[in-house]
Structures are given as structure tokens and as C-alpha cells.
Structure 1
Amino acid sequence: MAKNLKEMLARKLAENNQRHRESSQEAEFEEGRQHVRLALGVIDPNPYQPRRSFPLDELNSLASSIAEAGLLQPITVRRHEDRYQLIAGERRLKAHELLGKTSIEAIVVPSADADLAVLALAENIDRQDLADFEIGLALRRIESLFPSKKKLAESLGLNREDMYRYFAFEALPPRLRSRLEKAPRLLARSAATELKRLLEQTPASVELDAALDQAWDCLEQGQLEQGKLAAFVARQLAQPEVSRPLPSPRQAWKLARDGQQVGSMSRDDKHVILKLKAGVLSDDEIHQLEQFVSQLLSHEV
């Protein structure tokens, strides 16, 4: 699916570029042909960058390649007020920073926000597959650039059903999405869709939270395949609760005086309860009872 999405985005980008070339807007330079060298300090990040992480080992490898062979492809930017905004090439830009360089070759092109977002997606999918989680976040960020989800799907060449699979990650609890931010390739959209379906059918509970956390721990440790994540959680919830011993039945005795019941005494696992009718004991007898109980508790009798 990532390959298909890449092709769809590439077609969309080609259409956008063709529309720009055919437009009659005035510009200070030949559109898409201004090849310049820019100071790194005047280039701002792409606000629609879909990639969540840039592994240092990959950046170091790219930096080594640039140091040895030079920059084979300039980055692409657009003018943004009195600065420039990155369209494509953030890894190349970061590699230049690692090398301590102060400037970089760039091609300046005019670009609308929607084109900026589409190109960022296309470049990342082309160079190194984005995780489905990252694509889903990127789609949400560019959603406001289109009048409706239908138009967003159409602009990318996706049907809405396919697009909504990328949104399945939103059903995960925030704590799991936070962990996914650090390892976005851990869960694909198909597994996320299955888990979303389970969460929609299962009432929130402490048991569900515990099962999700246990499943995610196993997933991160490589002990559980992502395609089996939802089934694992379902099995954990289906296990019978550990039987608990029933409390001992309450034992009770009737208390009588002169053949008449005047109260009761009972005990269970937690309490010993003495109940007497008011007026059965005189003040002196109540005092004697208090002394007896005190002596009993202090082991004096």
C-alpha cells in the first residue's frame, strides 16, 4: 500500500507542478529553476514533515556520503516572508548540520500549503518508507488544507476506507500513542484497525488497561507479533477471574436475662458485635462491662 500511495502522491505532485508551470503568476525567478546556496540559518523546517524520527546512524551515514561525494541532489525550499521554508530534504539538511557546514545548495520553487504537505509525504515515502502511524499523523495535519475528508482522499488518490485505516491509531490510549511516537514502525495500520475494533466493542476497565499494557510490553520486547496483538488482548480479557474465598458466615448468639432476650452477640471475619437493649444494664453494670472488656484486651483476665 505504501508503494501505491507513493505513486498516487507522485501523480498529485506532477499535476501541481504542471499547474504552476501553466499559471501566469509573476515571479522573481524562473519557476522551479532558481538554484541557489542558502545559509542554514535562514531555512525553517517543513511544518507538514511526516517523519517523527531521524535515526542518528542513518544521518551519520548520509553525512559521510555527502562529505565524500558532495550533495547529489539540492534540497527544495519555498520563500516564506523574509526566510525560506523547507519543502523536501530535511535529512540532507540535518546531515549538513552534522558536518558543521553553514550553507547548502537549494532549489527555490513556489508552493502552496497543500503542495508542501503532499511533496513532504511523497519524498519521505520515496526515500524510506514512512510508518503507517507517521502517515496517519501527516494526513491529520494536512486535513485542514482541504474542504472535507472526501476532498483530502480524492487529492491523494485514496478511497476513504483506505484513508480511515491510517486514522485507526487515534483509538489507542494516549500512553500507547506516546510509546508509538518513539517507535512508529512497531504497529501497522491493519493491526491498529483490529485493535481499534476490539476497543470499540469492549467497555473501559482496569482489566482492559492491564491487558493492553501487557500486550504492548510483549510487542516492544519482540515476544508478540503485531498481527496478534488484538487477539492477545481478547484472550487476556476472556480468562476467568481468580476465585476468591467466600467470607465466613456470620455467627450469632442470643443474649437473655430472666428468660427474656435482651440482645445478641455476633462475629464474622472482621468484627465481634455486642448489642443490648437500652436500659437492660444499670450504669454500674455498664461500668463493670467496660472494665471487663479493657482487662480482656490487656490480657489481665
Structure 2
Amino acid sequence: MCARKATDLTNYFSQAKQSQQLSEAEEELQQLKAEIEKLRSQGSAELEAQLATLRSQLQARAGIQQILLEDIQPNPEQPRQTFLPESIESMSHSLAKDGQLQPIILIQREKLVIFDGERRWRSARALGWQTMLAVIIPEPASLHRKALLTSLHREDLNPLDKAEAILRELAANTDPASQDIPRILSTVVRRLNAQKRMNSVASLITADSAAQQQGLDALELSEPEKSVLALLLDLQLNPASVDANIFPMLSLPEDLKAAIRSGLKGVHAMALQKLSAKNLGLSEEEAQSIRANTIQKVMAEKLSATATRKLVAEVIALQAQSSASVTKVKSVSIEVNRLQKLSLESLKQAEVSQLMEFQQVLRQKLVEIEEVLKQK
């Protein structure tokens, strides 16, 4: 098994050809981008320093330009779909105070598309800037994959954005339809866990492609299972972790997905999904109302995951008590209605012994009612 080693981009840059011919420059830029994506996917500690070197090299090849913000558009294949207002505000403050310290990277299409730097672009628009510093590169092959790799291992990428981006990449590069992929992954992970072979899959994350393929071949997988696991490993993701912590985001109710995009943590959303119509014994509309109030409390008070789970349990218990009380009230109302429906004709047709027994029961109930009324 061969562990991957981060490429030394400094040496790579120093050997780059100095030709100014467009074709050679484009090829060189593609190689530079490929190297930086490899570093990003490996989460290399050297990444930020190498990024600075990359930007210098891009500047030498293409030059930093002042680009009109109105000529720039976001990358539709950007894995990050969530840009919290406080994040934009923080970046806007930094831009206003210190200016733009690094150029954004754009891809040349009919319009200029952002490859790296969308948060800075959004913040500049919020500040009312007209232009930004940028370098322009040719469009990389497999744009979504490269954009995914730039974002995938960043801690601030929320789990819903991550889940949707991974699913999109799997659907584009494997045979199973997107709606079947989470089920296929869950099935194979459960089976390999039962066989105590899941650890061998996890050990393949840092292996090279040949070792990964060899390891998967030994597991007797179906072709869809193998293709899904192979791509996750190629992205340096643990399939078991994706199954347990990332793909569950895809099945959350829409209100919880919206809350995640507004800043709710994934672990909190997983706890809050227990406030379902079934668990609460309510209609979906009523359950959603309770979830909305609970979400607001969790976010406003910045509750921990443990405190959120405790709150959810309390809400469910309180609703159970309320439902039991309503049930008791309903049962009394039902008996009152039944008694009111007992007609005079029915009483006349009853035997004397039956009427006497009924009278005795009514007297006893009246005594009990009086006792309850005194207590209230």
C-alpha cells in the first residue's frame, strides 16, 4: 500500500517553461491547477503556502487584472451553496479595512466564472465595489470535481452542501441514479461492518489508485457498490463516515435543510428531526410549527448538541402528556354524548332490574364527579 506524498510545488514552479505562447501557458496552468487540487484533496499542511506560490505563478502567466464585478458570475457547480450573512459581513469588514490582499481566480467561459474566491466577490458586491483583482485561467477539465476538491476538506463547508456536492459527483461518474446512491452505500457499509471488513476499506483512503482498486476487488462487491466506494476513496473520504454523518442530511425535512443553510449545525439538525409528526402524534403542519419554535430556541441560545438532544426529548415528553390529557377529555365527552343519546323510549323498553342497576351506576358516578369538582 503506497501512501500519497504532497507534491513540492515550489520546485515544480521553478522548472516551468517561460514561453509566452498561449498553448504552452494554458497547458502549464492546467498542470499547476492539477497539483493544487491534489494538495487540497490531501489536506496538506503546506497548502496555504503553496497557494500563495500558485497565485504568484498565475500572475506571471496571465497577470492580475481589474475585472468588473458585473462581468463575473458564480460557479453553478460550486459545492458551497451556503454563504452566511455573518461570514459575508466579516469578509466585507476585512476588505474595507485592508483592501483585497489576494486576487480571485476566474475561469474563462462566455462570462467569467469564479473558480476560487466567491465569498470575496459577494463581500465586494455588498461593499458596492465596481471591480476586483483577478487572474483568469482556462477552464479545467471536470470542473465540478475540481471545485469539489477545493471545498471538500474545509471545516466550514456545511454537511448539507457537502452531501449534495458528493452525491452530484457520484451521480455524474458512476452508473447508479442519484436517488439510489445513498441506499447502495448504506447497504454495502452495513454488510462490510457485519463482516468486520470495513476497516480494510478505511485503510485504503491514503493508498494510491492501484492499491485502492486491488483492495476493493478483494471484497466481492457488486459493480454499483464498487464504483461508489472507489470514487469516495478517490476523494479521500471514508465511506462509513459519509454514510453515517453526511448522506443523512439529504433525507432531512426541508425546514431543517433551510435551517442548516442559515447556520444550524448538522448534528443539531439530526437531533431536531426527531420532532416528526409520527413521534409527536401530530399532523405534519403542527410538527413543523413545533420544529420551527425549537430550531429558533436552539439557534438563539446557541445550544450544544447535548443540550439540543435534551430539549428535543423534553418537547416530545411534553407533547405526549398533552396528548394524553386531550385523550382523557375526549373520552369524557364521548361518554356524555352517549348518555345524551339514550332516549326515553329506550328506557321504557328496559327491564326494571336493568333500570335499577343503571340508576345505581349513575348515582355512584355523581358522587365521584362531586369529589373531583371539590378538588378543582
- What residue in structure 2 maps to residue 116 of structure 1? 146
Q: Which amino acid aligns with 2:23?
A: A
- Which secondary structure state, in structure 1, belongs to the residue aligned with residue 315 of structure 2? helix
Equivalent of 2:72 in 24, 43, 50: 43
Q: Is the 8 A contact 1:171 1:199 kept in 2?
A: no
Separation in 2 of the partners of 1:38 and 1:51?
26
Q: Is the 8 A contact 2:91 2:119 kept in 1?
A: yes
Equivalent of 1:77 in 106, 110, 114: 106
1:253 aligns with 2:322: no
**CA offset at residue 174 of structure 1?**
1.5
Separation in 1 of the partners of 2:302 and 2:136?
47
Separation in 2 of the partners of 1:140 and 1:121?
14
Q: Is the 8 A contact 1:75 1:89 kept in 2?
A: yes
Q: Which amino acid aligns with 1:101?
A: Q
1:170 aligns with 2:256: no
- What residue in structure 2 maps to residue 153 of structure 1? 232
Relative to structure 1, the CA distance from residue 38 to residue 152 in structure 2 (aligned partners, 3 Å threshold; closer, same or farther) is farther
1:63 aligns with 2:142: no
- Which secondary structure state, in structure 1, belongs to the residue aligned with residue 157 of structure 2? coil
- Which secondary structure state, in structure 1, belongs to the residue aligned with residue 291 of structure 2? helix
Q: Is the 8 A contact 2:274 2:312 kept in 1?
A: no
1:112-132 Cα distance to aligned partner (Å, 9 max, x none): 224432244159x27xx2333
Relative to structure 1, the CA distance from residue 196 to residue 149 in structure 2 (aligned partners, 3 Å threshold; closer, same or farther) is farther
Q: Is the 8 A contact 1:211 1:237 kept in 2?
A: no
Relative to structure 1, the CA distance from residue 54 to residue 187 in structure 2 (aligned partners, 3 Å threshold; closer, same or farther) is closer
Q: Is the 8 A contact 2:232 2:239 kept in 1?
A: yes
Separation in 1 of the partners of 2:173 and 2:276?
30
Separation in 2 of the partners of 1:134 and 1:72?
27
TM-score by length of 2: 0.50
1:219 aligns with 2:298: yes
1:187 aligns with 2:278: no
1:259-286 Cα distance to aligned partner (Å, 9 max, x none): x97xxxxxxxxxxxxxxxxxxxxxxxxx
Separation in 1 of the partners of 2:238 and 2:332?
57
Separation in 1 of the partners of 2:90 and 2:128?
14
**CA offset at residue 193 of structure 1?**
4.0
- Count residues in correspondence: 231
Q: Let me know the Cα RMSD of the aligned residues.
A: 4.0
Relative to structure 1, the CA distance from residue 236 to residue 198 in structure 2 (aligned partners, 3 Å threshold; closer, same or farther) is closer
Separation in 2 of the partners of 1:151 and 1:114?
18
- What residue in structure 1 maps to residue 217 of structure 2? none
Separation in 2 of the partners of 1:28 and 1:54?
40
Relative to structure 1, the CA distance from residue 228 to residue 150 in structure 2 (aligned partners, 3 Å threshold; closer, same or farther) is farther
Relative to structure 1, the CA distance from residue 200 to residue 119 in structure 2 (aligned partners, 3 Å threshold; closer, same or farther) is farther
More helix per residue: 2
Q: Give 5+ residue unaligned stretches, structure 2.
A: 17-21, 30-57, 175-226, 350-376
1:29 aligns with 2:29: no
More strand per residue: 1
- Give the ranges of 4+ consecutive aligned residues of structure 1 lying more than 6 Å apart after TM superposition: none
Separation in 1 of the partners of 2:281 and 2:171?
31
Q: Percent identity?
A: 20
TM-score by length of 1: 0.60
Q: Is the 8 A contact 1:77 1:106 kept in 2?
A: yes
Relative to structure 1, the CA distance from residue 100 to residue 196 in structure 2 (aligned partners, 3 Å threshold; closer, same or farther) is closer
1:25-51 Cα distance to aligned partner (Å, 9 max, x none): x93625224333253344321223304
